[in-house]
A and B are shown apart, each in its own frame.
Chain A
C-alpha cells in the first residue's frame, strides 16, 4: 500500500468515529426516554398509558423495518432541514440517529423489562412515586443490560455508517467501496476491513468491561 493512502485511511477512520459517536449520543438521547417509556407504559404498569405505548411501539417498529439504505434516501428532505445539507459526514448523522434511536429504545426497553417485578413492588410499598422508581430502581438495576445494549448499538452503527457513502457521508465503508472496489485496490479493502474488525473488537471489550463494573449480581465482583 502506498504511503499516501495512510492519511486517507486515517481521515476515514476519524469520519467513522465521528459519525458513530455523535449518532450514538443523539440516538441514546432520543432512544433512552423512549425505551424507558415503552418498558413502563403498558396497561397496569407504572406509567400506564396503553394507547401511547401502542402508537410509539408501532412507530419504532416501522422505523426498524425500513432498510437503512432506503431510510437514508427517503429522509433526504428532513436531513436537509436539520443539517442544512443532505450531503457529507455531518448530514449522514441524521439518518444514523434516526435508525439508532428506535433500536436503542428497544434494547433499553428489554433491559428494563428484565428487572425483577418484585423490586418495583418493594419500591411502591416504600411509597415511591413512578418517576422515583424509574430513577432509583429501574435504571440502576438495568444498567449492566443497558450498557451491553448500547455496545450492540455502537457495533451496529459502525456497520450502518459504511452505507452512508451513498450520500457522501465518507467514512471507512465508503473508502473501501470507492478505492478497494471501484479502483481495484484490494489492499485498501483489506485495510478497511481490518480497521473495522479492530474497532468492533475494541467497542465490544470496552462495553463488556463497563457492564461488568456495574454488575453486582454475581459474587465475582467481591471487593471491587
Chain B
C-alpha cells in the first residue's frame, strides 16, 4: 500500500488549565491514516475534537504527544519556518469562508501566491486559471460582500488551490450553505479530487456529506476515533452507537411515523409484528431475498419503507419491514445466511 498522505500516530492533545482540576483532553490516542488521493471524512458532534484534529495537519494546532506526518514531514516537530513551507503544500477552506473583505475575488485568490513570494508577473495567469476552474470568471473583480455563500466558498476553494497543494483540508465547508449549494460545492470538491489527484480531508457533522463524496470515514466521539474505514463498510456495518446515530436518516430510511409511535421493546402477544431494518450491501443489494423468504419459507413480509442508493459507487439498500414475531428468529437467520444484515427496531402489537 502507498504511503498515507497524512498519518496520525498516537496523537494526544491536552489543554492545560489554570485550575487544579487537571488538563482538558481534546484528543486522545489518535491513530489514523489518510490515504493519498482519496476523500476522507471525519465526522463528529461539535466539541468532539474534529476541528483540533484537522488543524494539526497544517500545524495550526500542535500535538501534546504523538506525531502528525504530512507528505512525509513531521508537522508537530517542524520549526516555524519549515512549517510555513509545509503549509503551502496544504490548502484549507473554512465554514465561514474567511475571505478578505478588502480584496476582490481575484485579489483574494492571489493572496497565497503573494505570501509564497510568487513572481508577480506570473500571478494573474495562475489566478485566471483558478477562477475559471471554479466557474467565477464573471465575478473576478467583485468583492466578497457582493457574492452568495456558494460563490464565496468557490473563491475559498480557488484560493486554497492557488499554491498547488497536495492536500486540501475542509473545515465544515458546507455547513453554512443551503442543500443545493452544498451539493454544488461537494461536486466541485469531488471533481478537484479526481482531476488533480488531490487528497482531501474534511470534517463535518453531516453524514450526508460523507455519503456523497467520502471514500473513507472516521467517526470521532469525545476526543477518540471510535470507528474508521472505507465509507461503504462503515455504513453497512456500523460498529458504534455514535456511527449508527449519525447514519439515522442518512442512509435509506426512517421508520414511518405511524409505526414509530406504536413501537414497543417487547412483543405484547403472539400476533405482534416485529419491525426489522434489513440492510443489503454489495452484490446482495439487488437480490430478491425478501421474495425468496416468502416463497421458500412462507413468511409474509410487510414492507414499511425502503430505498436503494449508491455509496462509494456501490449499491446500498435499506428496508424497514414487518415480520411476524413468531417467525422472527427463523427469518433473520435466513436473511443473514444470504448476506443481508438485520436489526430489530421494536414490536408493534
Chain A residue at minimal CB-CB distance from B96: A118
Q: Tell me which residues across on chain B come within 8 A of A214, comparing CB atoms.
A: 102
Chain A residue at minimal CB-CB distance from B107: A140
Quick check: which of A14-22, A26-34, A97-105, A126-134 contacts chain B, the rest being far away? A126-134
**Does residue B282 face the partner (Cβ distance < 8 Å to A)?**
no
Contact of A126 among B87, B96, B103, B143 (CB under 8 A): B87
- Is A126 a contact partner of B98 (Cβ separation < 8 A)? no
Whether A118 touches B145, Cβ cut-off 8 Å, given contacts A125-B58, A126-B115, is no
- Is A127 a contact partner of B85 (Cβ separation < 8 A)? yes
Nearest CB in chain B: distance from A134 CB, A = 12
Nearest CB in chain B: distance from A154 CB, A = 23
**Does residue A124 face the partner (Cβ distance < 8 Å to B)?**
yes
Contact of A136 among B92, B98, B111 (CB under 8 A): B111
Chain A residue at minimal CB-CB distance from B92: A125
- Is B101 a contact partner of A123 (Cβ separation < 8 A)? no
Assembled-state Cα–Cα distance A123/B60 (Å): 11
- Is A121 a contact partner of B112 (Cβ separation < 8 A)? no
**Does residue B196 face the partner (Cβ distance < 8 Å to A)?**
no
Q: Tell me which residues across on chain B come within 8 A of A136, comparing CB atoms.
A: 111, 114-115
- Is B60 a contact partner of A122 (Cβ separation < 8 A)? no
B87-119 at interface with A (beta carbon < 8 Å): 87-88, 90-92, 94, 96, 98, 100-103, 111-112, 114-116
Which residues on B are within 8 Å of A, measured CB to CB? 58, 60, 83-88, 90-92, 94, 96, 98, 100-103, 111-112, 114-116, 143-146, 163, 169
Q: Tell me which residues across on chain B come within 8 A of A121, comparing CB atoms.
A: 60, 94, 98
Contact of B100 among A127, A132, A141, A219 (CB under 8 A): A141
Chain B residue at minimal CB-CB distance from A129: B84
Chain B residue at minimal CB-CB distance from A139: B102
Nearest CB in chain A: distance from B112 CB, A = 4
Q: Tell me which residues across on chain B come within 8 A of A127, comparing CB atoms.
A: 83-88, 112, 115-116, 163
Whether A119 touches B98, Cβ cut-off 8 Å, given contacts A126-B87, A128-B84, A128-B115, is yes
Apart from A127-B88, A128-B115, A216-B145, what 13 extra A-B contacts exist at CB < 8 Å?
A: A116-B98, A122-B92, A122-B98, A125-B58, A125-B87, A125-B91, A126-B88, A126-B92, A140-B102, A140-B103, A216-B101, A216-B102, A216-B103
- Is A222 a contact partner of B146 (Cβ separation < 8 A)? yes
- Is A217 a contact partner of B145 (Cβ separation < 8 A)? yes
Nearest CB in chain A: distance from B158 CB, A = 13
Assembled-state Cα–Cα distance A165/B87 (Å): 57
Number of A-B pairs, beta carbon distance below 8 Å = 71
- Is A216 a contact partner of B115 (Cβ separation < 8 A)? no
**Does residue A218 face the partner (Cβ distance < 8 Å to B)?**
yes
The interface size of chain A toward B, counting residues with CB under 8 Å, comes to 25
Dominant SS at the A interface? helix
Across chains A and B, which 9 residue pairs bring their CB atoms closest together, nearest first? Answer: A127-B87, A122-B98, A127-B84, A118-B98, A216-B143, A125-B92, A126-B112, A127-B88, A140-B102
Assembled-state Cα–Cα distance A127/B101 (Å): 20
Assembled-state Cα–Cα distance A125/B90 (Å): 8
Whether A122 touches B102, Cβ cut-off 8 Å, given contacts A128-B115, A136-B115, is no
- Is A125 a contact partner of B60 (Cβ separation < 8 A)? yes
Nearest CB in chain A: distance from B99 CB, A = 8
Q: Tell me which residues across on chain B come within 8 A of A132, comparing CB atoms.
A: 115
Assembled-state Cα–Cα distance A65/B169 (Å): 48
Nearest CB in chain A: distance from B124 CB, A = 17
Chain A residue at minimal CB-CB distance from B116: A127
22 A-B interface contacts by CB (under 8 A):
A118-B94, A118-B96, A119-B100, A121-B60, A121-B94, A122-B92, A122-B98, A123-B115, A124-B87, A125-B60, A125-B92, A127-B84, A136-B114, A140-B100, A140-B102, A140-B103, A141-B102, A143-B102, A216-B101, A216-B102, A216-B103, A217-B101
Assembled-state Cα–Cα distance A137/B58 (Å): 19
Whether A124 touches B102, Cβ cut-off 8 Å, given contacts A219-B145, A222-B146, is no
**Does residue A221 face the partner (Cβ distance < 8 Å to B)?**
yes
Assembled-state Cα–Cα distance A116/B102 (Å): 12
Assembled-state Cα–Cα distance A173/B345 (Å): 86
Whether A221 touches B98, Cβ cut-off 8 Å, given contacts A125-B87, A127-B116, A128-B84, is no
Assembled-state Cα–Cα distance A16/B169 (Å): 56
Q: Tell me which residues across on chain B come within 8 A of A221, comparing CB atoms.
A: 143, 145
Nearest CB in chain B: distance from A222 CB, A = 6
Assembled-state Cα–Cα distance A143/B100 (Å): 12
Chain B residue at minimal CB-CB distance from A143: B102
Chain B residue at minimal CB-CB distance from A217: B101
A124-176 at interface with B (beta carbon < 8 Å): 124-129, 132, 136-137, 140-141, 143
